[in-house]
Structures are given as structure tokens and as C-alpha cells.
Amino acid sequence: MALQSRLKAYADRVDARLRELLPPDDRMPSELHTAMRYSCLAPGKRLRPALVMAAAEAVGGSTESVIDGACAVEMIHCFSLIHDDLPALDDDDLRRGLPTCHKKFGEAVAILAGDSLMVFAFDTLARVPLAAPLVLAAVQELTHATGTDGLAGGEAVDVLSEGKTVDLETLEFIHSRKTGALISASCAIGAILGGGSPAEVEGLRAYGAHVGLAFQIADDLLNETATAEELGKSVGSDRERQKATYPALFGVAESRRLALSHSQAAVAALPGPSEVLVGLAEYAVTRSR
């Protein structure tokens, strides 16, 4: 309950700041801005911005000093969800319990909303009022996590692997980029902007990499075992599209064991004590949605 209370406090602060940062929906082009706000302000766990703030606290920084960095990470995440849901990729109808962006606004506006959120994320991060070397390092982290070594690369291999039998190396490449890269970057960005030492930044980056894999394995499992109402998005689609997942390669029981192993490795990588980060590592594998 203490963790859930802390996560809600993080999420409430992020939501409030996102409402301030995002372009108002009554400003031209209003439908584009409405679509951006619709997707970015939809109810969500705000896990990635929570990791930014918790990592900053873990190295002695404050959540307020990194709030815009946390919002930038959430914008990137929302951009990726909009594009991931498009007919050309996963063709999903439901996201966070609501119609997906392209179902609500059409494909053209959805594509532009995703593009705009990505650009706006970097603009937001670049304007963080901290020392320029710290901001530059944070921008580089987010850039790396978004491109071909991160989200885009993982998504590409995921799409190209549909219907094929993949080995563990390919599966880990997909998950470590498509999901793990942004989660790892969230922890590193929080540590960087929070004033952490190089060793602390590296430890928190490693923590995030393991949490990202644990989270994605759990997500694969939920896609197999949860209902759409529980999950807030389409379920069973991974199996229908013959996507590369841990349950498809290892089965449910072994996938659960691997998720737990990554959760434990994440905690072991922490450079110092943090009840929130330990709790988040455990939550990654025990969550129900």
C-alpha cells in the first residue's frame, strides 16, 4: 500500500505537469493538439516517469528538479504506443481502456500526434533548468533509447519476426530495445538530472534494464492470461499475430521464473537502498495489469 500511495503521488504530479506542458487543445491545429492530449493524458501507471523521480531521489536529488524530464519520458512512451497501435503495426483498438488514437482521430492525425509528442519530448527535456552538461547527457540517453538501438529497433525486429520461430538472442533483442531501453533510460535520466555519480548512474541504468525485461515478460504473460477489461487493452493479440514472446518460446511457468530472475537482478544492481525502486522491481512481476 505504501508503494501504491507513492506511485499515485508521482502520477498525480506528472499528470498535472503534463497538462501544463502539452499544447492546449483550443490552439491551432486544435485536432492535433486534442489527439496529443487524449493519448498522453489517458489514465496510466506512469511507470517510466515514476522511475525517473525515484532514481533522482535514490541519488539525493528532488522530484521537482526532474519533473520535466519525467514528463519527457512519458511523452516518448505515449508516442510509441500511438504508433504501435496503428494498423501497419499491431492494429489495436483499445489502449488504457479507451479507443486507440487512430480509432478516435483517424490514422493521419494519430501518426502526426505521435510524431509531435516525440519532438515535444526532446524540446521539454532540453529546456530542463539544470546545468547544461547534465541536460545534454539526459537528452543523449533519451535519444539512444528512442532510435534504432532502442524503441524503433526493437519494434522493427518485432514486426519482422512475426510468424517466425526466433531464438532467445532475438527475443532478448526485441524486449531489451522495445521495452527495456526506455525503462533503463528513465532510471539513468533520473540519476543524471538528480546529480548522481557515474557509478550511481550506471547502477541505476542496469537496474532499469533488468526491470524492463521483467516488465515485458510479465506483459507477455498478461496478454495470454488477463482479460481486456483487466488490462485496458486488447489481449491474445500476441498469439494471434504469432509474435515473439517469452510464453511462446518458454511456456508460462518458465517465463514467470525468468521474470522473477530479472526482478531480483534489478534489485542487486541498485547502487544504494531505495524502498521505492525495490518495490517497483517486485511490482514489475506481480502486477495484474
- Per-residue pLDDT reduced to its tens digit, 88-120: 988 888 888 899 999 999 999 999 999 999 999
What pTM does this model have? 0.90
The pLDDT, as a whole number, for residue 57 is 96
CA distance 194 to 175: 27
How much is the average pLDDT of 65-92?
94
- Per-residue pLDDT reduced to its tens digit, 251-283: 888 999 999 999 999 999 999 889 999 999 998
DSSP class per residue in 206-241 = HHHHHHHHHHHHHHHHHHHHS-HHHHSS--SHHHHT
DSSP class of residue 129 equals: S
- Stated as kind and residue range, the H or E segment containing 151 is helix 151-160
3-state secondary structure 14-45: HHHHHHHHCCCCCCCCHHHHHHHHHHHCCCCC
> Nearest-CA neighbor of 137 among 189, 79, 205, 200?
189
Residue type, 24: P
The pLDDT, as a whole number, for residue 276 is 94
Rounded to the nearest integer, the mean pLDDT of the chain is 91
Is 54's pLDDT higher than 90? Answer: yes
CA distance 46 to 55: 14
How much is the average pLDDT of 71-84?
96
CA distance 101 to 113: 9
Is 242:191 a contact under the CB 8 Å cutoff? no
3-state secondary structure of 113: helix
Q: Which of 119-123, 170-174, 177-181 reaches the highest mean pLDDT?
A: 119-123
The pLDDT, as a whole number, for residue 237 is 58
